[in-house]
Structure 1
Amino acid sequence: MNFDKIGEMALGSRLRTLSEKVTKDAELIYALYNVELKPKWFPVFYFLSNQEKGKPITSIANEIGHSHPSVIKIVREMSNNGLVLEQKDKMDGRINNILLTKKGIDISTKIEAQYTDVENAVKDTLKQTKHNLWQAIQEFEYLLSEKSLFTRVIEQKKIRESSNIDILNYLPEHHTDFKKLNEEWINSYFKMEDADRKALENPKDYILDRGGEILVAVQGKTVLGVCALLKMQDDDYDYELAKMAVSPKAQGKGIGYLLGKAIIEKAKSLGASNLYLESNTILKPAISLYEKLGFRKVASHYTPYERCNIQMELKLK
């Protein structure tokens, strides 16, 4: 397989091929030194050879980074070959410790010369490379421990899918979608209230003519999300972020984040110093989005909504 032609997305396959190549050589190396080990046993063997006492399966698995079932299988194979045995823990009879047999201990002494030669061979090979593979793997493992490849792919998927989404100012032709999207999410979790009906039935009078704004996320001719900025008559806050709704068909595309960022920029352009919003803690994805946008929980203010049990603010200045 031409990995260079496929590119970086073949990383897993390439590492697997490299692993197979190294494992094949490892089998030859064990035979060269007359050591009765299999490459896949090595992590367990090496760990046990550096323990004064035996260790339970769970400890071994945690230490070498293998799964519990994988270690059980390896220990069983090593036991069948006379290298390890199980022994009840002297302090806790419920625990079975795994330790090397005399045969295993003898191999751990015999293998020292092999360790020296293999380590020097690997180091010599790494010196001949432009990029140190060992250090690169350490870096890559660290990055994946911080954020998995799966999560990173999801992020890239959102970026690609949102690249052709436009954020537009509200027009009268958007009224039907503005009302429909908000009614859908409200009725999915709560019930429509009088304040909802006023804003959704007549956004021009209730929002726009009072100094507010509405933004619309559009893909082609399809409205995928909406968000409003309500002018507040409050000494603490200039505007309220409200009426954010995203089509169920567009969930996971990052549209809420795009709308949130755009509405914040709109507020800044209007000279706002503080933004305010109301929500409910059962809407965990929404709360997470608001926190990502920089909003933080504040003490309760008066609200006309029964469903509101959390209020948040964002300081812009």
Structure 2
Amino acid sequence: MDFFNRTGKMALGSRLRLLTGMVTDDAAKIYELYDTDFSPKWFPVFFVLFEDGEKTITEIAEQIGHSQPSVTKIIKEMASAGLVQDNLKSKDKRRNVAGLTEKGKVLAEKMMSIQCADIDVAIDGIISEATHNLWDAIAEWEFLLEKKSMFKRVQEQKKLRESKDVQIVAYQSQYQSAFKSLNEEWISTYFEMEEADYKALDNPEDYILKNGGKIFVALYNDEPLGVCALIKMDDPNYDFEMAKMAVSPKAQGKNIGWLLGQAVIKSAKEMNASKIYLESNTILKPAINLYYKMGFEKIAGHHTPYKRCNIQMELKLHK
């Protein structure tokens, strides 16, 4: 259709609904063709009861991927048509189940042996005429969307596109207030500011930069919305600590944490560092997941000045 050529893939759902409507309309006519008083929407529930016997509403819903209210409504409609008997006692008498009536069983035998056979041949005919096998394609799409939903895929694309507008720059004195306020914002949201925080945030030039460290600032539309520091450590086991990473809540979802982390790691490598150390807290799950994604691994036993620290990690850099 010209409409879908104009909308492009944005209207995938609408196009599938239109196709579903075409097939469903034909399905209703096909039941009439075989003198069968039956609604197409009943078929999944009807088929399960025919193949597997008595089932609970929950069992049917899980098997066909419908909600329980939807299955309950269909069961009631089929019960009114005399095809299903509801609220039967199961064999262990502890659960209510639904099952086909004798009328339902007779209809099922007729449908499966004659009507379904004709439909299978007709659909095979369409498949043979088509360039692409829709049946196999649907199965493949279902598998791929179960692995990663359409929402997740669009979310990732949005993040990738927006991250291209993020610029990572070296710290300048004009960013001191942003460095402090961004860190104070996230620390105060989850914890309390500590003495070591004030040392780094009140005077980053002396505490970090003059000691051989680096600070990176993420600009989005020229506004500083993320910061991260690479602090030189006086420790024989570690060259630097990655610390004071903070991203404004309004900038989350733009890949800023990842971009800052990559800038820090790249800088450490350029200074011939062998390992980077960091401290965090496990309630910050997105941050911990980000560190693992960067290649950090959990360690323990290192001295920390922070009360809030309950996880320590390190990244080994391969020269």
Count residues in correspondence: 315
Paired amino acid for 1:23: T
Partner of 1:210, secondary structure, is coil
**Which residue is equivalent to 1:79?**
79
Partner of 1:50: 51
Instruction: Return the offset for 1:24.
Output: 0.5
Q: For residues 78-133 of structure 1, what are the alpha-carbon distances to aligned partners after superposition, in whole Å with 9 as ceiling and x for unaligned?
A: 00000011221121x23112111111111112112111111111122122222221
2:236 corresponds to which letter in structure 1?
Answer: D
Cα distance, 1:160 vs. partner? 2.3
Whole-Å separation in 2 of the counterparts to 1:257 and 1:35:
60
Aligned residue number for residue 313 of structure 2: 312
Q: CA deviation at 1:169?
A: 1.1
Counterpart for residue 177 of structure 1: 178
The residue matched to 2:227 in structure 1 has which SS?
strand
Q: Is the 8 A contact 1:83 1:103 kept in 2?
A: yes
| 1:240-296 deviation line (CA, Å, top 9, x unaligned) | 110101122212322112211221222222222211100112222222222222222
Identity %, equivalent residues: 57
Residue pairs, 1:1-317, within 5 angstroms: 2-51=3-52, 53-86=53-86, 87-91=88-92, 93-111=93-111, 112-317=113-318
Report SS of the residue matched to 1:7.
Answer: helix
What is the rounded CA distance, in whole Å, between the counterparts of 2:104 and 2:191 in structure 1? 66
Moved more, 135-144 or 24-33: 135-144
Q: 1:237 offset after TM fit, Å? A: 1.8
Query: How far apart are residue 151 of structure 1 and its match?
Result: 1.9
Q: CA deviation at 1:161?
A: 2.1
TM-fit CA distance, 1:158: 1.6
Q: Which moved more, 1:204-213 or 1:69-78?
A: 204-213
Distance 1:220 1:63, change over 3 A: closer
* Residues 275 and 313, structure 1, Cα contact 8 Å, conserved in 2: yes
Give the letter for the 1:55 counterpart.
Answer: K
Instruction: Give the Å deviation of 1:219.
Output: 1.8
TM-score normalised by L of structure 1: 0.95
Distance in 2 between residues matched to 1:162 and 1:175, nearest whole Å = 23
Q: Where has structure 1 moved over 3 Å in runs of 4 or more?
A: none
1:300–1:310 CA contact under 8 A, matched in 2? no
Deviations 1:139-160 (A, max 9, x none): 2111211122222222222222
Once the two structures are superposed, residues 184-231 of structure 1 have per-residue CA deviations (whole angstroms, 9 ceiling, x without a partner) of 222222222222222112212211122211111012321010001111
Aligned-pair RMSD on alpha carbons? Answer: 1.5
| Unpaired runs of at least 5, structure 1 | none
SS in 2 for 1:207: helix
Q: State the TM-score, normalized to the length of structure 2.
A: 0.94
**Other structure's SS at 1:36 match:** coil
| C-alpha separation in 2, matches of 1:217 and 1:269 | 20
1:139 & 1:115 partners in 2: Cα distance? 24
